[in-house]
């Protein structure tokens, strides 16, 4: 499901009003100022609304064919490099895989290295990282960088020198809880979740003081039996119930609300925590496979939308929420947009949590439709697996109609640009017993190719008309995230390593360059001394193909592993 509040799509004037307190609640002044300057990219998703839209237009649909390499930088770390850099002032900050192994500060115009931070990461983190040793970037505020680590810790760095200011333990990584995504800073708090749904952890979000690293609050995303929602779990299964909030959050300053997605419930065998035949009644396993709206001051859950109740397919609900104002009919709606792994694109009023629409954006047959009135999918009973009831040809596969790779929203075209997957699976469950730090699954899921002769698709989606406007078919899944700009462009990479500039209105590919390794990361754009740059990190995924059988073999054959930053400009 989705929720949200007023995003920063109105550009500098909107951010200025927020910073001035026009809408009542201030976020973080230094971060708001950085977001207000069009030439910077100060937040993982460019703004608190995760739009990944930049108003810069020096590089545009007319001159994109003239893009050339400004510089490249070797990250010194192979395997699953997935970070979106951030740019504050004239400095670009980028993290690597393996912990991260490194965090670099570079001159954003030349690539000259200013400093390097190298944390001490334990050698055994790989066995506790379900889906690879990735790190998707850092956060910034008040002259500090904040980086989550595979060893379950959160570190604050001096942005000018790279010196570690504090490090605090968020969670014990040896239970299967690693941190792979950038935290979210709201005022004087840095908020983070962690992974581990496949290890049977109990998910949580935590907030820490940005100056001291002291924990301020902790909110479990799976309720205990005595808490509200605890009766949606069978017995004491909630204590290993998953629901990890491992991707990125969004923030609405108008309502002072944070939005975060939660992962699949654990284990994958539904009989342990719910029922196996689809007649699950109240046993929906809150708050897994959901989007939560929380008070950033206290961590209290204001409301939620559960997109896949009693999830039986690993339809992890962590995908990012984009906050945007949409003109629907005669009304401007404060909307939250989410392309869920279950194959449905949700539009909700982010102030009330009311779902306005939920339509399939890819081929999905596990459900006929998602019913707004009941807040549940109308499932195809043949596609819900359970004890004694294996299911065949379920679409989408467990990697979802969209995985973590970020989508973007362009307020000028009114379109959302979504990297999607077209992969299916069979599914059967088996007995499973919880053991700390070990996969807690209880299912087998052989992969099948989706219909139509393609495995991925870059989709331009109209969230008001609920329809596809254009698409680019891909021969592989798990392709890169997107960036969209005021120059009528979309930038996106693929698993072959082709980085492309695409006409945002038509889908025509205007320019491409092969960068030598598969691309999963979302690109960014920024401006230094009057020149616009576009940057992307490359480094093919290594762990995900192991989940995908013959499809996975095609993925690993497409390009070698890598680890580099490439920056382009029109020279």
Catalytic annotation, residues: 198, 264, 314
Separation CA 179–CA 248 (nearest Å): 11
HSE value, Cβ hemisphere, 13 Å, CA-based, for 549: 13
Separation CA 131–CA 115 (nearest Å): 29
Are the C-beta atoms of 302 and 327 separated by less than 8 Å? no
Quote the Cα angle for 27-33-35, to 5°.
85
Backbone φ and ψ of 44, nearest 5°:
-50, -45
Separation CA 477–CA 253 (nearest Å): 35
Specify the DSSP element, H or E, that contains 489: strand 489-493
HSE value, Cβ hemisphere, 13 Å, CA-based, for 86: 25
Number of other CB atoms surrounding residue 64 within 10 Å: 23
Number of other CB atoms surrounding residue 419 within 10 Å: 29
Place of tokens 């840095």: 190
C-alpha torsion sign, points 70, 74, 75, 80: positive
Question: Which residues make beta-bridge pairs with 144?
Answer: 141, 158
Give every CB contact of residue 235 below 8 A, 6+ residues apart in sequence.
none
Place of tokens 């754009």: 525
CA–CA distance from 96 to each of 132, 165, 492, 522, 535 (Å)? 12, 20, 19, 14, 15
Quote the Cα angle for 519-147-541, to 5°.
20
Taking each helix axis as running N to C, give the angle between helix 29-36 and helix 12-19, from 0 to 180 degrees, rounded to the nearest 10. 160
Give every CB contact of residue 414 below 8 A, 6+ residues apart in sequence.
462, 463, 464
Question: Would you give the distance in Å from CA 251 to the centre of its chain?
Answer: 14
């Amino acid at each position: 499901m989705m929720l949200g509040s007023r995003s920063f799509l109105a550009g500098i004037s909107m951010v200025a009003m927020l910073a001035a307190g026009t809408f009542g609640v201030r976020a973080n002044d230094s971060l708001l100022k950085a977001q207000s300057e069009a030439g910077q990219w100060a937040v993982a998703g460019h703004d608190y609304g995760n739009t990944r839209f930049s108003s810069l237009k020096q590089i545009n649909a007319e001159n994109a064919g003239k893009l050339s390499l400004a510089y490249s930088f070797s990250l010194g770390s192979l395997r699953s490099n997935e970070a979106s850099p951030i740019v504050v002032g004239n400095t670009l900050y980028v993290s690597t895989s393996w912990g991260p192994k490194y965090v670099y500060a570079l001159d954003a115009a030349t690539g000259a290295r200013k400093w390097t931070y190298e944390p001490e990461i334990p050698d055994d983190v790989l066995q506790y990282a379900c889906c690879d040793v990735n790190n998707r970037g850092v956060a910034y505020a008040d002259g500090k960088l904040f980086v989550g680590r595979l060893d379950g810790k959160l570190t604050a760095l001096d942005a000018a020198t790279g010196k570690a200011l504090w490090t605090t333990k968020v969670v014990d990584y040896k239970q299967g809880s690693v941190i792979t995504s950038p935290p979210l800073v709201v005022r004087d708090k840095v908020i983070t979740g962690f992974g581990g749904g496949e290890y049977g952890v109990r998910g949580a979000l935590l907030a820490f003081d940005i100056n001291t690293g002291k924990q301020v609050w902790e909110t479990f995303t799976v309720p205990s039996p005595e808490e509200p929602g605890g009766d949606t779990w069978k017995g004491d299964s909630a204590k290993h119930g998953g629901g990890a909030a491992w991707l990125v959050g969004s923030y609405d300053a108008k309502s002072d609300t944070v939005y975060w997605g939660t992962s699949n419930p654990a284990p994958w065998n539904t009989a342990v925590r719910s029922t196996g035949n689809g007649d699950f009644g109240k046993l929906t396993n809150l708050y897994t496979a959901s989007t939560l709206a929380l008070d950033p001051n206290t961590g209290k859950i204001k409301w939620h939308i559960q997109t896949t109740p009693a999830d039986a397919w690993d339809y992890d609900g962590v995908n990012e929420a984009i906050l945007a104002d949409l003109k629907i009919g005669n009304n401007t709606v404060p909307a939250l947009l989410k392309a869920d792994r279950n194959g449905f694109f949700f539009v909700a009023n982010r102030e009330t949590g009311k779902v306005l629409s939920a339509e399939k954006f890819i081929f999905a047959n596990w459900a006929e439709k998602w019913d707004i009135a009941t807040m549940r999918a109308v499932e195809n009973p043949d596609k819900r697996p359970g004890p004694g009831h294996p299911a065949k040809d379920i679409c989408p596969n467990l990697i979802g109609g969209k995985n973590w790779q970020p989508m973007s929203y362009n307020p000028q075209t009114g379109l959302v640009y979504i990297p999607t997957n077209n992969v299916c699976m069979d599914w059967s469950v088996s007995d499973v017993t919880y053991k700390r730090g070990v996969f807690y699954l209880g299912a087998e899921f052989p992969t099948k190719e989706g219909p139509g002769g393609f495995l991925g698709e870059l989709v331009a989606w109209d969230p008001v008309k609920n329809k596809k406007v254009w698409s680019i078919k891909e021969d592989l899944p798990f392709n890169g995230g997107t960036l969209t700009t005021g120059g009528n462009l979309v930038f996106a990479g693929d698993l072959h390593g082709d980085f492309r500039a695409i006409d945002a209105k038509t889908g025509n590919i205007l320019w491409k360059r092969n960068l030598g390794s598969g691309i999963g990361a979302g690109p960014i754009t920024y401006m230094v001394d009057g020149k616009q740059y576009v940057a992307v990190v490359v480094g093919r995924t290594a762990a995900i193909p192991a989940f995908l059988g013959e499809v996975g073999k095609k993925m690993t054959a497409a390009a070698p592993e890598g680890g580099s930053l490439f920056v382009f400009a029109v020279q």
